[in-house]
């Protein structure tokens, strides 16, 4: 969002005050002085009735502090005249917006409170000789204050979000190589110890669960938060729960069945290996997260999609050019994971990413949106030319032999939804059309291309 300069704000506020009669000043000031407590009460009454606002406010807070602050804000704002220095009042609105962002009060609640405030003012002015002019003036002051607050809120909230993300990355990137080896060793130590304990005939109640191990404690209290949002985090969480709640308890049931006992030991080893594999992937993300590239495929990730889409829309509008997007999805990908494992699925995605990258021009963009979903943005093309590119990709994938671990190969297909930019400024509209076409392709049998209307 483009920030409005302080000088521009000053000019707009001054224009409002210069065009207001002295009698209107008096009306606003008298109303503020006389009804500030009632206005503050109406503002917070509606705020406290909102279930979301109740998470941030309490009656005690309102009575002790917020109500008095609100009354002072009302009096200061509604007592403005053309002779006043506006810089302090604008600075105050920015400060309030910063505070709201810092304590994470949703901006829509503040805007709703402002609307209630204006409705209360209208009620209080009912029957006043200059009711309409005074109400218009007060409403304009409140709207301008909310505009400054919202702008400050947005800037501060973005800054806080970046700081939060930087800290999250810092917390896992700091000496990450050491931490990775430490946690790999901790996981291996737990596996060796539990295998030894099982071999020694310890009962299930005597075994140390993975969640209670050194690795389990680190992952539950630090790792899961640090890598929140990654695909691997829930997989590791689920694997730990399966080991603790399913695999380990099974050992007490098969003590007299040597073959089943050995099978469970192999199963436990594979589950631990799976966790180690996902852990390796998580730490590999550290160097990739801020770069905006997908860790697995090294394609662009969602981070840069809004930026690229907006840039291409602006270019297309300025230069009267076309571009298209291809929403691409691997057909029956879940079967690949279920039949061959996630490692095989990851290998397929990496090879597909390479095919997609090689199948487009250097000016085009290829994104991995997550899972088996990809998106290509083809610049300077019409739908008919983009369809030829899409068909070339579809055939290329269909005829390719995808290599799996242990020397196996696999054949896959993709479905594609194609949408051409048609002038709408909202990038999401174009993405939605491509997604709708992709769903059509899936519904009509997969391994095909559908062009959005």
Domain count across the chain: 3
Tell me the C-alpha distance between 352 and 45, whole Å. 57
Do 12 and 111 lie in a common domain? yes
Do 98 and 213 lie in a common domain? no
pLDDT at residue 3 in the model: 55
For the stretch 17-49, pLDDT in tens is 999 999 999 999 999 999 999 998 888 877 777
Residue 1: which pLDDT band, with cuts at 50, 70 and 90? very low
Task: Give me the CATH number covering residue 362.
Answer: 3.30.70.270
Residue 275: which pLDDT band, with cuts at 50, 70 and 90? very high
pLDDT at residue 2 in the model: 47
pTM of structure: 0.48
Q: Do the Cβ atoms of 103 and 112 come closer than 8 Å? A: no
Q: Do the Cβ atoms of 379 and 309 come closer than 8 Å? A: no
Do 283 and 412 lie in a common domain? no
Do 346 and 265 lie in a common domain? no
**Which residues face 128 on adjacent strands?**
none
For the stretch 96-121, pLDDT in tens is 888 777 666 778 888 888 999 999 99
Closest CA to 230 of 278, 276, 186, 272: 278
Q: Do the Cβ atoms of 193 and 200 come closer than 8 Å? A: no
Do 142 and 29 lie in a common domain? yes
The token pair that represents 67 in the structure block: 């109500």
Closest CA to 110 of 78, 63, 64, 157: 157
Do 353 and 229 lie in a common domain? no
Greater pLDDT, 48 or 172: 48
Do 186 and 210 lie in a common domain? yes
| 169, 195, 219 - which closes a domain | 169
Q: How does the average pLDDT of the chain come out, rounded?
A: 86
| 256, 287, 318 - which closes a domain | 287
Do 10 and 150 lie in a common domain? yes
| 145, 169, 193 - which closes a domain | 169
How many CA atoms does the CB half-sphere of 133 hold within 13 Å?
Answer: 13
226: Cβ–Cβ under 8 A, 6 or more apart, which residues? 168, 171, 172
Do 13 and 161 lie in a common domain? yes
Tell me the C-alpha distance between 268 and 209, whole Å. 12
Indicate left, alpha or beta for 50 from its phi (over 0: left) and psi (-120 to 50: alpha).
Answer: beta
Q: Which structural domain range is residue 249 located in?
A: 176-287
Q: Is residue 355 over pLDDT 90?
A: yes
State how far the alpha carbon of 55 is from the alpha carbons of 50, 66, 104, 425, in Å.
9, 15, 10, 36
Q: Is residue 164 over pLDDT 80?
A: no
Tell me the C-alpha distance between 308 and 297, whole Å. 19
For the stretch 245-256, pLDDT in tens is 999 999 888 777
pLDDT at residue 370 in the model: 87
For the stretch 209-220, pLDDT in tens is 998 888 988 888
For the stretch 89-98, pLDDT in tens is 999 999 888 8
- For residue 292, being part of any structural domain is answered with no
Greater pLDDT, 55 or 186: 186
User: Span 397-405, mean pLDDT?
Assistant: 93
Do 234 and 360 lie in a common domain? no
Do 281 and 306 lie in a common domain? no
Using a 10 angstrom Cβ sphere, with 0-12 exposed, 13-18 middle and 19 or more buried, the burial of residue 52 is exposed
Q: Is residue 167 over pLDDT 50?
A: no
pLDDT at residue 44 in the model: 80
Residue 179: which pLDDT band, with cuts at 50, 70 and 90? confident
Q: Is residue 172 over pLDDT 80?
A: no
Q: Is residue 71 over pLDDT 60?
A: yes
User: Span 409-429, mean pLDDT?
Assistant: 91
- For residue 294, being part of any structural domain is answered with no
pLDDT at residue 316 in the model: 86
Q: Is residue 193 over pLDDT 80?
A: yes
- For residue 106, being part of any structural domain is answered with yes
156: Cβ–Cβ under 8 A, 6 or more apart, which residues? 97, 98, 101, 102
- For residue 120, being part of any structural domain is answered with yes
Q: In what order do the strands lie in the sheet with 449-451?
A: 365-370, 373-379, 323-330, 414-420, 449-451
Do 15 and 142 lie in a common domain? yes
């Amino acid at each position: 969002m483009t920030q409005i300069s302080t000088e521009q704000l000053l000019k707009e506020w001054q224009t409002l005050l210069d065009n207001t009669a002295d009698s209107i000043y008096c009306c606003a000031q008298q109303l503020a002085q006389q009804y500030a407590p009632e206005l503050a009460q109406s503002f917070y009454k509606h705020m406290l009735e909102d279930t979301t606002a109740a998470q941030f406010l309490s009656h005690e807070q309102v009575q002790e502090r917020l109500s008095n602050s609100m009354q002072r804000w009302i009096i200061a704002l509604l007592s403005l005249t053309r002779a006043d220095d506006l810089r302090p009042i604008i600075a105050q609105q920015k400060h309030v917006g910063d505070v709201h962002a810092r304590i994470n009060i949703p901006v829509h609640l503040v805007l709703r409170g402002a609307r209630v405030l204006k409705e209360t003012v209208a009620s209080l002015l009912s029957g006043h000789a200059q009711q309409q002019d005074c109400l218009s003036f007060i409403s304009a002051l409140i709207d301008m204050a909310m505009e400054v607050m919202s702008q400050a809120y947005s800037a501060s909230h973005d800054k806080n979000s970046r700081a939060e993300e930087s800290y999250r990355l810092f917390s896992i990137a700091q000496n990450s190589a050491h931490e990775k080896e430490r946690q790999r060793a901790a996981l291996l130590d737990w596996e060796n110890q539990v295998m030894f304990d099982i071999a020694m005939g310890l009962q299930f109640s005597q075994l140390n669960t993975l969640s209670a191990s050194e690795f389990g404690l680190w992952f539950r209290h630090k790792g899961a938060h640090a890598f929140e949002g990654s695909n691997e985090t829930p997989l590791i969480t689920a694997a730990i729960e399966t080991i603790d709640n399913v695999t380990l308890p099974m050992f007490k049931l098969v003590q007299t069945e040597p073959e089943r006992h050995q099978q469970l030991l192999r199963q436990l080893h594979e589950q631990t290996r799976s966790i180690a594999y996902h852990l390796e992937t998580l730490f590999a993300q550290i160097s990739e997260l801020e770069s905006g590239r997908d860790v697995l495929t090294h394609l662009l990730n969602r981070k840069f999609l809004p930026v690229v889409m907006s840039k291409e829309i602006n270019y297309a509008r300025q230069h009267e050019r076309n571009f298209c997007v291809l929403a691409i999805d691997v057909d029956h990908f879940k079967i690949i994971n279920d039949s061959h494992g996630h490692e095989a699925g990851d290998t397929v995605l990496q090879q597909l990413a390479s095919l997609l990258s090689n199948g487009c021009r250097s000016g085009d963009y290829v994104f991995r949106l997550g899972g088996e979903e990809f998106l290509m943005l083809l610049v300077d093309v019409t739908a008919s030319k983009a369809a030829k590119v899409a068909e070339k990709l579809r055939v290329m994938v269909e005829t390719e032999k995808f290599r799996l671990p242990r020397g196996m190969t696999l054949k896959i297909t993709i479905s594609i939804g194609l949408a051409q930019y048609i002038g709408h400024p909202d990038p999401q509209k174009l993405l939605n059309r491509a997604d709708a076409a992709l769903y059509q392709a899936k519904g009509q049998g997969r391994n095909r291309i559908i062009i959005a209307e």
